[in-house]
Chain A
Amino acid sequence: EAGVVQSPRYKIIEKKQPVAFWCNPISGHNTLYWYLQNLGQGPELLIRYENEEAVDDSQLPKDRFSAERLKGVDSTLKIQPAELGDSAVYLCASSSPRGSGEQFFGPGTRLTVL
């Protein structure tokens, strides 16, 4: 069974440019999460989806960040415009319909903003 897929793995952009990250969860996993991991820190939740509905986006900086999960499968996280402080690893995770179970993480996208 394929794991959580993320692309790209690495992205380098200049500040004020837009950037987008893509995530394909494990088949059948209704719940999808985006986390942000700064260097030397644990991941922090940005947004959680149940199917196509964003049920918790309280930690998403909505002035520059947006996310979508059309059709309740793949998800895209966008930053526009990017700032220097956005340099981090963006992790996607998915979990089974029970919700309280194990979350499977993708390899992450390492973003560097110059």
Chain B
Amino acid sequence: AQKVTQAQTEISVVEKEDVTLDCVYETRDTTYYLFWYKQPPSGELVFLIRRNSFDEQNEISGRYSWNFQKSTSSFNFTITASQVVDSAVYFCALSEANSGYALNFGKGTSLLVTP
């Protein structure tokens, strides 16, 4: 069963628009971590953020922000004032204590930002 669901397969926005990438997860562990990774066309996975299950504070880093809500099992990612360089595939991932913290990835959301 898919533990991480990224319902949006592809999103296309015009530069400077805000965009939110959705992530819903499923776990029975009380201790777990959530991640977002970016995979540009070059193929390398780039770490963006990690949150643990005990910290629901939202986080902002420049144009990026993350909204973690345990009540809805969601960990959404917003890019403000998108830029062409943001074009990539974005993966949400879950790691759980009972699986040795191996990453369980969603299928990814392909974001295209056009000028």
Residue ranges of A at the interface with B (Cβ–Cβ < 8 Å): 31, 33, 35, 40-45, 48, 50, 55-56, 89, 91, 93, 95, 99-108, 110
25 A–B contacts from the bound complex (CB under 8 Å): A31-B100, A33-B103, A35-B103, A40-B108, A41-B107, A41-B108, A42-B4, A42-B91, A42-B105, A42-B108, A45-B104, A50-B100, A55-B100, A56-B102, A93-B45, A95-B101, A100-B33, A100-B95, A103-B47, A104-B47, A105-B44, A105-B47, A106-B44, A108-B43, A110-B43
CA distance A106 to B44 in the complex (A): 7
User: B57 — which chain A residues lie within 8 A by C-beta?
Assistant: none
> Known pairs A42-B107, A43-B103, A106-B44. 7 more at Cβ < 8 A?
A42-B93, A42-B105, A44-B105, A102-B47, A103-B47, A105-B37, A107-B43
With A42-B91, A89-B43 already in contact, the answer to whether A48 and B108 are too (CB < 8 A) is no
User: B50 — which chain A residues lie within 8 A by C-beta?
Assistant: 101-102
With A42-B91, A100-B33, A108-B43 already in contact, the answer to whether A56 and B108 are too (CB < 8 A) is no
Within 8 A of A (CB), among B78-109: 91, 93, 95, 97, 99-108
Counting chain A CB atoms within 10 Å of each CB, which of B42, B44, B50 scores highest?
B44
User: A35 — which chain B residues lie within 8 A by C-beta?
Assistant: 103
A108 touches B44 (CB 8 A): yes
A45 touches B101 (CB 8 A): no
CA distance A96 to B112 in the complex (A): 33
User: B42 — which chain A residues lie within 8 A by C-beta?
Assistant: 107
User: B35 — which chain A residues lie within 8 A by C-beta?
Assistant: 102
A42 touches B102 (CB 8 A): no
A56 touches B103 (CB 8 A): no
Within 8 A of A (CB), among B16-45: 33, 35, 37, 42-45
User: B108 — which chain A residues lie within 8 A by C-beta?
Assistant: 40-42
CB distance from B32 to the nearest CB of A (A): 9
Q: Which of B37, B52, B102, B105 is within 8 Å of A48, CB to CB? A: B102
CA distance A102 to B33 in the complex (A): 10
B103 touches A99 (CB 8 A): no
